[in-house]
Amino acid sequence: MAIHITDDPAADELLSSNPFALLVGMMLDQQYPMEHAFQGPQKVVSRFGSFDPAAIAAADPEEFAALCSTTPAIHRFPGSMAARLQELARIVVEQYDGDASRLWTEAADGKDLLKRIQALPGFGAQKAKIFTALVAKQLDVRPAGWEKAAGDYALDGFRSVADVVDPVSLQKVRDYKKAKKAAAKAG
């Protein structure tokens, strides 16, 4: 299935064809607009020439941080995110032989998938639930119990990046988040 999050065909193609890029896009999706976060992997490819986890893990940290900080940066905190990206790459290489898709294709069930994702740098409980829903909804990988593991993000609606398939659904997710923030502020 093709991923349509960024409104940039090259970035969306990378997310669709490279499981590590999708994982990194999700990692970058914090305190930064989601379509920009998910463009991060394409920015790295255009500057680094590769999005291979082993190559990223082996890169000189200072040079890699500089590459990630080049305007437009991969995130509003490019230095810390570059370090986190390299740590994520190391984990993917060491634990999954460089194949990020093994995180979800080899998960015993939804609970195991959630546990695997939460063990990654930059993935707290909520983000792990969202990514579990994204894997199920966008990649059609649905280990037993994924709905329970993903919580409300498994429900139909427009709650998170897991529900974004085009610019219209992106706007619906934005509207949902804006309404939720306004309700929290008022309540």
> What pLDDT was estimated at residue 17?
95
Tokens standing for residue 157: 């609606």
In percent, how much of the chain has pLDDT > 70? 99
Task: Look at residue 1 and tell me whether its pLDDT is greater than 80.
Answer: no
| Interatomic CA distance for residues 142 and 149, integer angstroms | 11
Comparing C-alpha atoms, which of 28, 25, 20, 26 is closest to residue 57? 20
* Tens digits of residue pLDDT in 95-116: 999 999 999 999 999 999 999 9
Cis omega (within 30 of 0) on the bond before 61?
A: no
Domains of the chain in sequence order: 9-152 (1.10.340.30)
Kindly give the residue spans of alpha helices, DSSP state H, lying in the chain.
Answer: 9-17, 19-28, 34-37, 40-48, 53-58, 61-69, 78-96, 102-105, 110-118, 125-139, 146-150, 167-186
| Interatomic CA distance for residues 118 and 127, integer angstroms | 8
Is there a contact between 110 and 150 (Cβ–Cβ < 8 Å)? yes
Residue 167: other Cβ atoms inside 10 A? 12
Comparing C-alpha atoms, which of 30, 57, 44 is closest to residue 123? 30
Is there a contact between 70 and 40 (Cβ–Cβ < 8 Å)? no
* Tens digits of residue pLDDT in 60-87: 999 999 999 999 999 999 999 999 999 9
Kindly indicate the confidence band of residue 54, based on its pLDDT and cuts at 50, 70 and 90. very high
> What pLDDT was estimated at residue 2?
80
Is there a contact between 56 and 89 (Cβ–Cβ < 8 Å)? yes
